[in-house]
Amino acid sequence: MSDREAAIDLECVNTIRTLSMDAVQAAGSGHPGTPMALAPVAYCLWQRFLRFDPADPIWPNRDRFVLSSGHASMLLYSMLHLTGVKAVNTAYERVGRAAVTLDDIKHFRQLDSRCPGHPEYRWTSGVETTTGPLGQGVATSVGMAMASRWMGSYFNRPGFEMFDYDVYSVCGDGCMMEGISNEAASLAGHLRLSNLCWIYDNNHITIEGNTALAFSDDVATRFMGLGWNVTRVGDANDLDHLTRALQTFRDTSDRPTLIIVDSHIGYGAPSKQDTSAAHGEPLGEEEIRGAKARYGWPVDAKFRVPAGVKKAFAAGVGRRGHALRTEWMSRFDRYQKRYPKLADQLYRMQHRELPDGWDRAIPVFEPDDKGMATRASSGKVLNEVAKNLPWLVGGAADLAPSTKTRLVFDGAGDFEADCASGRNLHFGIREHAMGAAMNGMALSKVRPFGSGFLIFSDYGRPAIRLAALMELPVVYVFTHDSIGLGEDGPTHQPIEQIASLRAIPGLVTLRPADANEVSEAWRLALSLERTPVVLVMSRQNVPTLDRSRVGGASGVARGAYVLKDFGAERAVLLIGTGSEVSLCLPAAADLEKEGVAARVVSMPSWELFERQTTAYRDSVLPPDVTARVSVEQASTFGWERWVGSEGARIGMTTFGASAPLKDLLQKFGFTVENVVAAARQQVGRASAARSTSKSAVTSTGCPGRKQVAKKSARKRPRKAVR
């Protein structure tokens, strides 16, 4: 390398460093140390290896760069700015402008800047995934690598390599400490994902201080034990050594690669080097001046980008990426002519469109008093849909036989280290890594589903939350949804999980009442392009309702619908979800015999119902009917939203118990008799409230009201008032 080339390299590296320092200082918050230390790593990777076109940052076969150390966000923003990445997301950005302008960097961490505190997918083009919660980025990168392998197996043909991208993720000590990273690394090693490279910033610093306080793992030995190729770079500033390590990754074809890079956090800051202060707060003007002096930088210059830096990046990653992207697009044109069906599928997949007729085989289930568990009907629907949606892939956290999520049709197969074409994924008992991997696959435009018991949704909740934050169309199938799983007892019986999932903004939960609601739930879940969905399924059988006698299951799409009115003048609303709807129907029939008119409402999804117009919501839950009962084998938390503060909420206020299902239903009040009793009490309360209200009106001197109140009271069914 010539002296001039070395000087350009150093100028580019120092530009990344100084932009990061200046942005954090201007914001008054942030993490300057890691971007300063890892600037040479990012520069070497992007400039010499990354197959990425800044002019088209969503080119399908681009290499992915994931900054798992999301607190070092200025490292990524500096790269996006200096390489000239273009904005391409019409929903959030002005297309064609720079994804990150210098003004955005100057307003780092400020309202509406494209440079928020941690990288956010969709908000800023070039950000491949939202990161910040440590460990999530590296785990998500595993899903991206799995997607590359699967898409290559499905779409590639001789002479047409449509998918073979690599995935790089930069992580730190925090990521290594979080359990999800070990789950994900174990899965990646088992699958021998040779297209995956993690770059571990081994700087021995966390917020509290030196990692020796809490972390003494031999990371290299651990990863070798997990089946990874491990190499080391002793100095993060050694571009030649970094280049050799990255080339080693490129040359490794039988396992993922971990590159351990020894760095000094806040490199170049004279007195704060190797301190947590450099990691978690601005350096201060004096320290910045000292660092710039050490770099040979004008000490008073702020947000300086020398003219030659952008030219250097344009000649490196820009030129290489443009050529590769142009070649790929030309290849795709030829691919369309040679393999038109596959090309159409590839296009639709990348644009999150579904194949024509994808839902034509969704079954309609015949009425059946015995019925089936909704997990069973879900498995039937899933298999029919998957036949017509080739890029729908998924599996379970070791529970596919129980969750009924195994694809069993001819050709489905298993995704394994030696066979990437299978559509059944085996995540092992790794719920958290499963969720992150699903996010990575969805970010790559594959449509993933994952499953487990509802109680274990807690183990993967952070990834579910990120799916909602990123607006990713992942589908979860959570079964064993209540105390209905019986003898396994309270450790396995979910109570608060449904309520906690409903609390996540942007997530849709659906708890179908019977097999036909299951069909409609799947139809809806897969039609949503930017919404994660949780399907909550029962272990026990539920009747398949006769839809000629009750409302159509298509009402699922609106979140709640009138299942049946028992009597003309509604006195009470019985609102159920899932298996408890089958309690509400006979309860309403019994009430009708007593002269009490009840309406049964199936409410599989609060979120979808809340999106409906006020007029529709009022047509289902008339505001003048205040006698209301909700029935759900879960926490009653939140049900006052629909039944009112004085409505009856039949649900769980404790943990469950270990016993046969029938005994549990009796113990916790999930019986027709208890629903009827609650309804009677509600009708009595509402009637008394109306009488009191009318008496109060009469006392103000309004004529005739007392007589009307008495007449109304005489119409009330005698048995409803006690």
Mean pLDDT in residue range 398-411: 97
In the block, which residue shows the tokens 């015949």?
366
Catalytic residue among 93, 178, 281, 431: 431
Of residues 75, 14, 19, 72, the one with CA closest to residue 42:
75
The pLDDT > 70 percentage for the chain reads: 94
* 3-state class (DSSP) for residue 455: helix
What DSSP letter does each residue of 81-141 carry, written as one string? HHTTPBP--TTTS-TTSBSS-HHHHHTTTSTT-S--SS--TTTSTT--S---STTHHHHHH
Per-residue confidence (pLDDT) for residue 280, from 0 to 100:
66
Residues in the chain: 722
- How do residues 292-328 score in pLDDT, each as one tens digit? 999 999 999 999 999 999 999 999 999 999 999 999 9
* Domain 368-544 falls under CATH 3.40.50.970: yes
Same fold, 3-132+166-325 and 368-544: yes
- How do residues 432-487 score in pLDDT, each as one tens digit? 999 999 999 999 999 999 999 999 999 999 999 999 999 999 999 999 999 999 99
Of residues 212, 188, 229, the one with CA closest to residue 436:
188
Mean pLDDT in residue range 124-140: 98
Per-residue confidence (pLDDT) for residue 487, from 0 to 100:
95
pTM: 0.94
| C-beta separation of 670 from 580 below 8 A | yes
Return the amino acid letter for 544.
Answer: T
Per-residue confidence (pLDDT) for residue 275, from 0 to 100:
40
Q: Residue 247 belongs to what H/E stretch?
A: helix 239-251
Q: Compute the half-sphere exposure of residue 683: CA atoms within 13 Å on the CB side of its CA.
A: 30
Decide if 287 is catalytic. no
Domain-by-domain residue ranges, the chain? Answer: 3-132+166-325, 368-544, 553-707
Q: What value, to the nearest 5°, has the Cα angle with vertex 245 and ends 241 and 247? A: 115
Per-residue confidence (pLDDT) for residue 182, from 0 to 100:
98
What is the DSSP secondary structure assignment for residue 429, as one 8-state letter?
A: S
Of residues 37, 30, 91, the one with CA closest to residue 471:
91
pLDDT band at 211 (very low <50, low <70, confident <90, very high): confident
From the centroid of its chain, how far is CA 421?
24
- Architecture of the 3-132+166-325 domain: 3-Layer(aba) Sandwich (3.40)
Per-residue confidence (pLDDT) for residue 721, from 0 to 100:
25
pLDDT band at 521 (very low <50, low <70, confident <90, very high): very high
- How do residues 222-260 score in pLDDT, each as one tens digit? 999 999 999 999 999 999 999 999 999 999 999 999 999
Q: Say whether pLDDT at 710 is over 70.
A: no
- How do residues 687-708 score in pLDDT, each as one tens digit? 898 888 765 543 333 333 333 3
Burial 45-56 (b: 16+ CB within 10 A, else e): bbbbbbbbbbeb
Average pLDDT, the chain: 93
Mean pLDDT in residue range 605-634: 98
**What's the sign of the alpha-carbon dihedral 37, 42, 47, 53?**
negative
CA-CA distance, 507 to 668, in Å (whole number)?
29
Q: Say whether pLDDT at 131 is over 90.
A: yes
Q: Compute the half-sphere exposure of residue 25: CA atoms within 13 Å on the CB side of its CA.
A: 15
Residues 6+ apart with CB under 8 A from 25: 32, 282, 283, 284, 285, 288
- How do residues 571-611 score in pLDDT, each as one tens digit? 999 999 999 999 999 999 999 999 999 999 999 999 999 99
Question: Would you state the structure tokens that stand for residue 29, as one six-digit string?
Answer: 């918050």
Indicate the range of 351-355, 426-430, 712-716 predicted with least confidence. Answer: 712-716
What DSSP letter does each residue of 197-226 carry, written as one string? EEEEEE--EETTEEGGGT----HHHHHHHT
- How do residues 531-555 score in pLDDT, each as one tens digit? 999 999 999 999 999 999 999 999 9
Please list the residues that pair with 416 across neighbouring strands: 419
* 3-state class (DSSP) for residue 32: coil
Please list the residues that pair with 643 across neighbouring strands: none
- How do residues 523-534 score in pLDDT, each as one tens digit? 999 999 999 999
What is the DSSP secondary structure assignment for residue 534, as one 8-state letter?
A: E
Mean pLDDT in residue range 669-676: 98
Burial class (CB in 10 A: 0-12, 13-18, 19+), 551: middle
Q: Compute the half-sphere exposure of residue 450: CA atoms within 13 Å on the CB side of its CA.
A: 32
- How do residues 70-100 score in pLDDT, each as one tens digit? 999 999 999 999 999 999 998 888 898 999 9
Pairing status of strand 368-373 against strand 541-544: antiparallel
| C-beta separation of 169 from 465 below 8 A | no
| C-beta separation of 543 from 370 below 8 A | yes
Please list the residues that pair with 372 across neighbouring strands: 542
Per-residue confidence (pLDDT) for residue 695, from 0 to 100:
59
Per-residue confidence (pLDDT) for residue 88, from 0 to 100:
95
What DSSP letter does each residue of 456-494 carry, written as one string? GGGGGHHHHHHHHHHT---EEEEE--SGGGGGG-TTTS-
Pairing status of strand 209-210 against strand 205-206: antiparallel
Q: What is the largest CA-CA distance in the chain?
A: 103
- The torsion region of residue 390 among left (phi > 0), alpha (psi -120 to 50) and beta comes to alpha
CA distances (Å), origin 421, targets 151, 328, 434, 626: 8, 22, 18, 55
pLDDT band at 278 (very low <50, low <70, confident <90, very high): very low
Mean pLDDT in residue range 283-295: 94
| C-beta separation of 176 from 170 below 8 A | no
- How do residues 636-664 score in pLDDT, each as one tens digit? 999 999 999 999 999 999 999 999 999 99
Pairing status of strand 447-453 against strand 475-479: parallel
Per-residue confidence (pLDDT) for residue 1, from 0 to 100:
74
Of residues 491, 664, 649, 669, the one with CA closest to residue 573:
649
| C-beta separation of 620 from 574 below 8 A | no
CA distances (Å), origin 254, targets 50, 146, 195, 250, 338: 20, 14, 9, 11, 31
Per-residue confidence (pLDDT) for residue 264, from 0 to 100:
77
SS (H, E, C) 135-201: CHHHHHHHHHHHHHHHHHHHHCECCECCCCCCEEEEEEHHHHHCHHHHHHHHHHHHHCCCCEEEEEE
Tell me the fold of 553-707.
Rossmann fold (3.40.50)
CA-CA distance, 658 to 100, in Å (whole number)?
56
